[in-house]
């Protein structure tokens, strides 16, 4: 495992860790919140009703398997197993060179799990605080409002948890494999957008959930995993002492 201290590694994008960086983050968060407010006033209701009216039911239902890919359960299981396998393999391989590769695999999974957990905490605090009614309440009861500090799941539309889940994981993967960023970004965008299509969230819900996820991945990366590099799988294919 790398012994490089994170404080000696340049911060990703320089967004956190300095007064100027923190000011940039605060300004960006204020801008996104302002945009979400405008969307809630002028756009969200219209988009939700238009999609429900114009998009055939079969098409909307066809996106349910897509939107289910944003559930955290699937990813958490894979990540926890990856972390455990990496830790066990690291202990078994030590002190051979391949142990370093296994340690990086395990730590990479830890980075993604931490990003997911950190953003999930923020999103659920906002859900509880805002208490926004979901689109289905608009469709059924014509309710388009917020009821702050409510524990009712039908009043937890803002922000989108599925969007937060998929974007926190994909943003972390972009750090690890930057050349594949179009693939990760496309995957996250499709799944997050499906939440609007199936009528589970408004556009501003998806925007805020995605933003929180991306910022959380950057923060977690800088705070605890700044020295982390992408797992190198070449040692696994080596022979002899390196195998």
The predicted-structure confidence for 144-180, as pLDDT tens digits, reads as follows 999 999 888 889 999 999 999 999 999 999 999 999 9
Adjacent-strand bridge partners of 146: 132
Residues above pLDDT 70, as percent of the chain: 90
Tokens linked to 174: 């972009």
Residue 114 to residue 217: CA distance in whole angstroms: 8
**pLDDT of amino acid 37:** 97
Task: For the chain, 243 residues long, give each residue's pLDDT as a single digit of tens.
Answer: 443 344 444 445 567 777 888 888 999 999 999 999 999 999 999 999 999 999 999 999 999 999 999 999 989 999 999 999 988 888 887 667 788 888 899 999 999 999 999 999 999 999 999 999 999 999 999 999 999 998 888 899 999 999 999 999 999 999 999 999 999 999 999 999 999 999 999 999 999 999 999 999 999 999 999 888 888 777 665 544 443
Tokens linked to 17: 């860790």
Instruction: Residue 93: count other Cβ atoms within 10 Å of its Cβ.
Output: 18
**pLDDT of amino acid 74:** 85
Residue 66 to residue 64: CA distance in whole angstroms: 5
Whether 204 and 39 have beta carbons less than 8 Å apart is answered as yes
Whether 195 and 150 have beta carbons less than 8 Å apart is answered as no
Tokens linked to 185: 């970004």
């Amino acid at each position: 495992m790398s012994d490089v201290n994170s404080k000696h590694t340049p911060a990703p994008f320089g967004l956190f860790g300095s007064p100027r960086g923190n000011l940039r983050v605060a300004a960006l968060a204020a801008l996104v919140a302002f945009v979400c407010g405008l969307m809630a006033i002028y756009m969200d209701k219209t988009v939700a009703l238009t999609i429900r009216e114009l998009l055939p039911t079969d098409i909307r239902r066809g996106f349910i398997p897509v939107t289910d890919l944003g559930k955290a359960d699937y990813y958490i299981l894979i990540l926890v197993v990856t972390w455990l396998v990496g830790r066990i393999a690291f202990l078994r391989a030590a002190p051979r060179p391949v142990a370093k590769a296994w340690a990086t695999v395990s730590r990479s999974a830890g980075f993604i799990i931490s990003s997911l957990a950190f953003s999930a905490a923020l999103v659920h605090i906002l859900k509880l605080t805002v208490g926004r009614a979901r689109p289905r309440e608009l469709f059924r009861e014509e309710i388009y409002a917020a009821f702050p500090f409510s524990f009712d799941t039908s009043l937890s539309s803002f922000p989108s948890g599925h969007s937060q889940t998929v974007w926190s994981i994909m943003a972390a993967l972009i750090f690890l494999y930057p050349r594949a960023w179009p693939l990760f970004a496309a995957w996250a965008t499709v799944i997050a957008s499906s939440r609007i299509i199936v009528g589970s969230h408004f556009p501003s819900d998806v925007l805020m959930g995605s933003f929180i996820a991306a910022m959380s991945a950057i923060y977690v990366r800088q705070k605890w995993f700044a020295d982390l590099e992408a797992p190198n799988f070449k040692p696994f294919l080596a022979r002899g002492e390196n195998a």
